[in-house]
Amino acid sequence: MGYFIGLLITLVVFWYTMSGMNKPLILSLGAVSVVLTMVLSWRLKIVDKDSSPYGRIVQFLLYWVWLFVEILKANWRVIRACVKADLDINPALVKVKTVCRSDLAKTTFANSITLTPGTVTVSVEGDKLLVHALYEEDAEPGAFDEMDRRSAWASDGGGA
């Protein structure tokens, strides 16, 4: 039930942000579309922790702030590699083991790796991720431990 309420609040806020109009006709059309979306997602049985993780929004916001700083730092390295006069890269393909249990946590972790320039998640099998890195130094064993721990904390709580 909490997931439905979270989805409802998100849809209403999102619709109102996109429209920004207060005419009765527009508002009632918005209400109809919100209700239709709710009914369709209930019939598809996709409303659960993975699709409506709004109860953990504070943790995700904190994680996002940390991730954004990491992204900026990683961007700098890849920008330098792009504009350097001589090509100087050291690509590697490594396996990374994750402590994340739920699908949401694994998705968060894998997408964080991909979002950080210089590393891309190539495939996910069980609790192992195949990561391609532009610099082998960036993908040493343990390089992803902190991101792993933080995404597990943001998605599942507690941490490992």
Partner 1 sequence: MLTDAIEFFHLVRPWLGGAFCLLGAVLTVIGTAGVLRFPDFYTRLHAASITDTAGATALLIGMGLMAPGWVVVAKVAAIWVFLFLTSPTASHAIANAAHVAGLEPLIGRLGRGEVDPASGEEA
List residues binding partner 1 (CB under 8 A): 14, 17-18, 20, 71-72, 75, 78-79, 81-83, 86-95, 110-112, 114-123, 130, 132, 134
CB of 1 to partner 1, least distance (A): 25
Residue 129 CB, shortest distance to partner 1, in Å, is 10
Compare residues 129 and 152 and give the one whose CB is closer to partner 1.
Answer: 129
φ, ψ of residue 98 in degrees (nearest 5): -115, 150
Asked if 117 contacts 72 with a C-beta cutoff of 8 angstroms, the reply is: no
User: For residue 111, how many other CB atoms are within 10 A of its CB?
Assistant: 13
Q: How far is the CB of 115 from partner 1 (least distance, A)?
A: 4
Bridge partners, residue 130, by sequence: 95, 123
Which amino acid belongs to residue 10? T
In angstroms, give the least distance from the CB of 99 to partner 1. 20
DSSP 93: E
Strand partners, 97: 128
What does the alpha-carbon distance between residue 121 and residue 153 come to, in Å, rounded to a whole number? Answer: 20
The Cα 98–Cα 155 span in angstroms is 13
Among residues 46 and 122, whose Cβ is nearest to partner 1? 122
Nearer to partner 1, 39 or 93 (CB): 93
Minimum gap (Å) between residue 116 Cβ and partner 1? 8
Nearer to partner 1, 121 or 155 (CB): 121
> Based on CB atoms, which residue is closest to partner 1, 74 or 152?
74
H or E stretch including 30?
Answer: helix 24-43
